[in-house]
A and B are shown apart, each in its own frame.
Chain A
Amino acid sequence: MMETLAALFTPQLVEATVRLAAPVILAAMAAVVCERSGVTNIAMEGIMLVGAFFAALVAWYTGSPWLGLVGGAAAGALYSLFFAWAAISLHFNHVVAGAIMNILAFGLTRYLMMVAYGRQGTSNAVARTLHDYKTAIPVLSDIPFIGKAFFDQTPIVYLALLSVVAWAWIFKRTRLGLSIEASGEYPMALETMGRSVVKTRYTAVVLGGVMCGLAGAFLSIENSNSFTEGMTDGRGFIALAANIAGGWRPVGVFLASLFFGFVDALQLRAQGLGVIDLPSELFLVFPYVATIAAVAGLVKRSRPPAAVGKDFSVEGGGD
């Protein structure tokens, strides 16, 4: 039994934890930003999917995974702009708008698969993936046990780690962060101080879209070499759970996302090693069960932004 555990818990496991956490980290940061601004975003699943598709398409068409990365981020931003329009300007219920965006994303990517590749299922493989650009940061990557995990990684993993630092700073020290916070806690206070809640929320949702797009790009052109229909597999919702479990704060959410990455890595590793003779489904189901446990156990510890999910209009608040 000890041997089994020793075989499981290796530096490779830590490395896989960080790598598999990357898309969840990015999407969960998107959730933090959107919800702190007052927008409930369950469209992340769909936004990621669109990002993954366009990243693969651009990378395949141009041969450059870097352009693919840009394409994925841009597609994520554009698609979330559409979501923002419905939820903020057209005053759709946020959850309903998100559900529609998810449904549309599945249809759109399936259709575009046929248009671009003439088939369903999995897209053509890209020539080079971002995994080919794995880079070790000198010195730091030599730190024992965790060095390789955090400092010998692929581009989008670095971007994910960077996004945590960036957002922690933005919320703590910047004008944008302060505005987002006010927009989610008490939007009228922001509006009466002459800053537009609508613009702030659009900004938050579109920046969230960029991160979801990157998360999608990770799935299609960094962690694999092609787009597969429905390849996000509920990660948008897991990110939502990570956001709740992490208490709507970048660092907490980062740790929660790492936990999901860890569960995923453990699942793959346990399966791969065949250390325990159980049906593979029992491992695959891990992340979902962990998500439910995390949401159930941690939800009460912190409180969501007061105005999250609530529609905002200036004259609606009239006397």
Chain B
Amino acid sequence: MRPDRARAIIMTSAAAMAAIGSTLYLASYFAGGLLALAALAIFGFLRRSELGAEGFAAASRSMLKAAAVPAIGIASALAIGAAVMLATGYDPVASYAALFYGGLVRNWHISVLNATPLIFTGLAISFGFKGGLFNIGAEGQYFVGVMAATWLGLKLNLPAPLGVPLVFVVGMLAGAAANLIPAALKVKTGAHEVVTTMMMAYAIRTLSPMFIRANGGDPASSAHPYATAQIGERLWLPLFKDVLPASNYRLHVGVLVAVAAAFAVRFVLDRTDLGFKIRAVGHNPIAARTQGISTARITFATLLISGALASMAGVTQVLGLDHRMFQNLNAGYGWNGISIALLARNDPIAIVFAALLWGVLDAGGQYMARTASTPNAIIEIVKSVILFLLLAEVVYSSSGAAIKRFLAGRKAARAASEGGRS
């Protein structure tokens, strides 16, 4: 067999191992992690044979360095969180123990469930960022997705293989439509999308109880939060439990759809003509326009696609988990999506990991609040601090250099002035 054939086969099987391993891990089969690690080792080995020992060492060093920054940021944020807890009379050790046990082990499935919509909204917002737009109202498009899925779920009587894709398509169209007005205004009048998408989000949230009442919600009988009737069981997303009996009964395959969406977004942005144009407009609309790219059309497309991605979060949530619309106005998937996009610096694959981190912190935070009775709002603070520190990373490195220069300058000046005196 030719060596490159062998290599290709090894690569493919390693990729398959990685995919199966991480899927198993997501489904709470933690041994799957070993499989993923093994795949990683094979990748490393191949890379090493490619680069040679020295090149490989250099590459791993730079990778470690890149990984060190977020690690340090997260650790520092946790330390600040601990300081806040100490200052306000809570036990940080017990709280964090509960947080990580809850988020990573005990309620790992909740972490994954939390992460799923965040991947979509994070992708939505970062897609906008790539095109130079801030779709701050992804929360609104999330609710549109929820409503579309609930409405179809109540009306539609189709077998899952037809029905589920149809609900996704309609939901995405609805999410795109929710951004139609902001996109048109942006292109026609230059109205800033931060204001218009935000106001759309507030408007949609405000109107959503009407939808709930119209679809089986009864404010008189049901306690808060009140909800619509349940959608038909045929449209529910498959559960991991169907194949892997030991996983949690609520854990649905939406997370795999989300990961697939991340890869799709990456492909569109990096490898297609559309993505190229979106990035060009995002960096420099004037240059893009000068080169014949229609900035209006690209801006329009970017906002609509962003809306469609955000609504997928809502669709997944209804088909996979809630099976109805709750008046859950504090869900905040749209708002948290902003953090995810910023944290991952608009890298679609990094968004998956950032969303998992947020999911773990949320799930762990709830467990912590229950078992250690530390208010889980501390997690919100820790999250903001993580965000702040990781975004300031560019700043440390440049200010670090500036401090060095400053000190060097001072030393030189002192030497010069002493020299002058003598």
Question: Known contacts A234-B202, A279-B210, A299-B189; is A107 also within 8 Å of B383 by CB?
Answer: yes
Q: Could you give, for residues 375-389 of chain B, a 1 whenever the CB lies within 8 Å of some chain A CB and a 0 otherwise?
A: 101111101110110
Residue A291 at the B interface, CB < 8 A? yes
Which of A108-116, A151-159, A220-228 is the interface stretch? A108-116
Please classify how large the interface on chain A is, using the bins under 10, 10 to 19, 20 to 34, 35 or more: 35 or more
Asked if A241 is at the interface of the complex by the 8 Å CB criterion, the answer is yes
Judged by DSSP, the binding face of A is helix
Assess whether B136 is interfacial by the CB under 8 Å rule: yes
Find out whether the CB atom of B195 lies under 8 angstroms from the CB atom of A240: yes
Q: With A106-B380, A107-B381, A284-B206 known to touch, is A115 a contact of B192 (CB < 8 Å)? A: no
What B residues does A238 contact at CB under 8 A?
A: 199
* B191 engages A103 (CB within 8 Å): no
Q: A92-B392, A233-B202, A299-B190 are in contact. Are A103 and B195 (CB under 8 A)?
A: no
With A281-B210, A288-B203, A292-B200 known as contacts, the answer to whether A95 contacts B384 (CB < 8 A) is no
In the assembled complex, A255 has its CB within 8 A of some CB on chain B: no
B339 at the interface (CB under 8 A from A): yes
Interface size class of B (residues with CB under 8 A): 35 or more
Q: Which residues between 98 and 130 of chain A lie within 8 Å of chain B, taking CB atoms?
A: 99-100, 103-104, 106-108, 110-111, 113-115
Interchain nearest-CB distance for B128 vs A (Å) = 12
With A100-B384, A111-B377 as contacts: A237 and B209 at CB distance below 8 Å: no
Of A103, A111, A244, A299, the residue contacting B339 (CB under 8 A) is A103
Does any Cβ of A come within 8 Å of B173's Cβ?
no
Chain B residues contacting A300 (CB-CB under 8 Å) are: 189-190
Residue of A nearest to B381 (CB): A107
Q: Counting CB contacts under 8 A, is B335 at the interface?
A: yes
Asked whether A296 lies within 8 Å of B210 as measured between CB atoms, the reply is no
Closest to B196 in A: A292
Say whether, besides A99-B136, A103-B339, A295 and B202 are in contact (CB < 8 Å).
no
Are the CB atoms of B202 and A107 closer together than 8 Å? no
Residues of A within 8 A of B84 (CB): 111
When distances are taken between beta carbons in the complex, the residues of chain A under 8 Å from B189 are 296-297, 299-300
Q: Which residues of A contact B190 (CB under 8 A)?
A: 299-300
Would you call B381 and A241 a contact (CB within 8 A)? no
On chain A, the residues within 8 Å of B384 by CB distance are 100, 103-104, 107-108
A91 at the A/B interface (Cβ < 8 Å)? yes
A2 on the interface (CB 8 Å rule)? Answer: no
A42 at the B interface (CB under 8 A): yes
Interfacial chain A residues near B200, Cβ < 8 Å: 288, 292
B395 within 8 A of A: yes
The listed residue (B181, B198, B375) touching A115 by CB distance below 8 A is B375
User: In the complex, A299 Cα to B200 Cα: how many Å?
Assistant: 17
- Decide: A288 and B377 in contact? CB cutoff 8 A: no
Q: Decide if A99 touches B395 in the complex (CB within 8 Å).
A: no
* B195 near A100: Cβ-Cβ < 8 Å: no
CB of A285 closer than 8 Å to a CB of B: yes
Cα of A296 to Cα of B197 in the assembled complex, Å: 12
Which residues of the partner chain A approach B291 to less than 8 Å between Cβ atoms? Answer: none
Chain A residues near B342: list those with CB within 8 A.
96, 99-100
6 contacts between A and B (CB under 8 A): A100-B387, A106-B380, A244-B192, A282-B207, A292-B191, A295-B191
